[in-house]
Chains A and B, each alone.
Chain A
């Protein structure tokens, strides 16, 4: 039985249509590693391993469809959302999901923990038991009901959400237990073609602290002009924002003001000319003004950009300057990406390896070309041969039960004719007795091919 299992797993790469191999290193992520993705008919299997911040981590998973259900077995990052809230965790186990016209449902069961994710590999560390499900159903008359029930270690979530939409008005509420804490959110939104207004009350939870925030906002979209403004009030951090943007041809301008324990202004000017982009930024915060600029080039095989910008860090709660340099190029099926952010670098690459099997896809022949090459395949006794493979001008065609074959071409330029006995679908070992080397599309005379069985 072990040998049978081993042969099945070893047969998996042999069935693959495409194999994707990725690897890289980064001082920004403090990680080195790589991964492989096997694309098989109906299955996608991934495996990766690496060192992330000094720890050896890895992950392996396979995804396939079974009777309308999508099954993920192995390591998978889960994100379940219910209205205005949701949960995310890394699961090592089973995820079964199904999406219908009106309903969505998903179940998971396994060991949960944290995921270490980089652009070139991901690893999962599972610590404790987890299970749960999510369900959402859209009823008639605009009613939507959703729920999440999940246990991930000692964190328990039980959320319900309901929403109702009538013309431009949408009312929604989400309430319940979000990772052991009470959570409630109510929201009203009215949205027209050029104007939208929203009001909401939310109980936020962040780093073991909770705070209620009331938010009112409006937005207007008038052709190329986009205006937005909002206010938010809470015990710790009341504030206001206002801004607008304008797009005009290759030029776009955006300006935003923030009032929250001080005053911050940010503005940007972007120009897109062909494949080139040039950007300028200005930022004024607490009496300090900074300018930054950047630019980039993008094409099918090469993209490069240098940006000196101001980023807002959610972790520090401060704006900080950052120089971001990225270079990405593609040669055939291989890609290489290089990047730095404030002297922290990331480099990774990938390669697609095509196996002998063809990729799934659609090949569409919308038009019927006028110039035809046709003929008959017969054996030495004159009996039609069905399933004979004939390559005409690079196209592989097969003969029917009358031995007839044809191929259509747009031009009357002569094309090569080659008989391929190794691709005959007719049983037996075949040899070629007579056939022309070339044919002219549109020629009224049919080709005659004579073959014989050994």
Chain B
């Protein structure tokens, strides 16, 4: 009886540890931003919720229209974008705020910054990366910028 009780308690502890490890993830915020242009400044925050250090690389891309109504991304065009950091190493539970400074050639314009989280070095195998996007919409007026930009690209799915 004592042994069974001990095994049940041990199982509960193991489950706690496994669940706690599985609950962690990486985050980016905000997911979308609206800004008044053509010169827009803002911040993107990336967080490593895990317990092992990660490398994060920020890759900007332009949002392109597509015939099938699904968004596609391509090389950054029509925007001069500066990031305070292009990449960083994030410690466990560490958060980093990265500033951006964007100048659009014409309005409205939109770009997306992908934060690519990559775990440490492995001698063999494949690299696993998590890509999290943060989109910025720049217009003459801040209000409703996202909607008007997506409508212009034929990507608006709302009512």
A residues near B, CB below 8 A? 1-2, 4-5, 8, 15, 17, 40-43, 64, 66, 357-369, 386-387, 389, 396-401, 404-408, 422-429
Checking A15, A365, A398, A406 against B97 with a beta-carbon cut-off of 8 angstroms, the contacting residue is A365
Please give, as numbers and ranges, the residues of chain B lying within 8 Å of A368 by CB-CB distance: 82-84, 99-101
Query: Closest CB of chain B to A357's CB: distance in Å?
Result: 5
With contacts A397-B88, A426-B127 known, is A41 near B93, CB below 8 A? yes
B123 at the interface (CB under 8 A from A): yes
B57-100 interface (Cβ within 8 A of A): 57-59, 82-89, 91-100
**Do A357 and B53 touch across chains, with their CB atoms under 8 A apart?**
yes
**Do A427 and B122 touch across chains, with their CB atoms under 8 A apart?**
yes
With contacts A357-B53, A358-B53, A360-B91 known, is A369 near B84, CB below 8 A? yes
With contacts A358-B53, A400-B59, A400-B116 known, is A1 near B10, CB below 8 A? yes
With contacts A365-B97, A368-B99 known, is A400 near B86, CB below 8 A? yes
B83-132 interface (Cβ within 8 A of A): 83-89, 91-101, 116, 118-127, 129
In the bound complex, what is the Cα–Cα distance between A423 and B57 (angstroms)? Answer: 14
With contacts A4-B10, A8-B17 known, is A424 near B84, CB below 8 A? no
B20 at the interface (CB under 8 A from A): yes
Query: Closest CB of chain B to A73's CB: distance in Å?
Result: 10
B14 at the interface (CB under 8 A from A): yes
CB closest residue in chain B, given A422:
B121
Please give, as numbers and ranges, the residues of chain A lying within 8 Å of B91 by CB-CB distance: 357-361
B51 at the interface (CB under 8 A from A): yes
CB closest residue in chain B, given A426:
B127
Query: Closest CB of chain B to A263's CB: distance in Å?
Result: 58
Query: Closest CB of chain A to B28's CB: distance in Å?
Result: 14
**Do A8 and B13 touch across chains, with their CB atoms under 8 A apart?**
yes
In the bound complex, what is the Cα–Cα distance between A2 and B13 (angstroms)? Answer: 12
**Do A1 and B7 touch across chains, with their CB atoms under 8 A apart?**
yes
B55 at the interface (CB under 8 A from A): yes
Please give, as numbers and ranges, the residues of chain A lying within 8 Å of B86 by CB-CB distance: 397, 400, 404-407
CB closest residue in chain B, given A429:
B123
**Do A5 and B10 touch across chains, with their CB atoms under 8 A apart?**
yes
Please give, as numbers and ranges, the residues of chain B lying within 8 Å of A357 by CB-CB distance: 51-53, 91-92
CB closest residue in chain A, given B95:
A362
**Do A425 and B82 touch across chains, with their CB atoms under 8 A apart?**
no
Query: Closest CB of chain B to A8's CB: distance in Å?
Result: 6
Given contacts A1-B6, A361-B94, A366-B97, 8 further A-B contacts (CB under 8 A): A40-B51, A363-B96, A365-B84, A367-B84, A408-B85, A424-B121, A427-B122, A427-B127
CB closest residue in chain A, given B52:
A357
Question: Can you list the 10 inter-chain pairs with the closest CB atoms, starting with the nearest?
Answer: A358-B91, A360-B93, A425-B118, A365-B84, A398-B87, A41-B51, A362-B95, A406-B86, A397-B87, A364-B97
Digit string of B18-62 for contact with A (CB within 8 Å is 1, else 0)?
001000100000000000000000000000001111011111000
Query: Closest CB of chain A to B130's CB: distance in Å?
Result: 12
Query: Closest CB of chain A to B82's CB: distance in Å?
Result: 5
**Do B92 and A360 touch across chains, with their CB atoms under 8 A apart?**
yes
With contacts A1-B7, A389-B55 known, is A362 near B96, CB below 8 A? yes
Pairs across A and B, CB under 8 Å, 15 listed? A1-B10, A5-B13, A8-B17, A41-B24, A358-B91, A361-B95, A363-B94, A363-B96, A365-B97, A368-B101, A396-B89, A408-B84, A425-B119, A427-B127, A428-B123
Please give, as numbers and ranges, the residues of chain A lying within 8 Å of B59 by CB-CB distance: 400-401
With contacts A17-B92, A360-B92, A360-B94 known, is A425 near B87, CB below 8 A? no
CB closest residue in chain B, given A390:
B87
Checking B13, B51, B83, B98 against A15 with a beta-carbon cut-off of 8 angstroms, the contacting residue is B51
Please give, as numbers and ranges, the residues of chain A lying within 8 Å of B129 by CB-CB distance: 425
In the bound complex, what is the Cα–Cα distance between A89 and B73 (angstroms)? Answer: 60
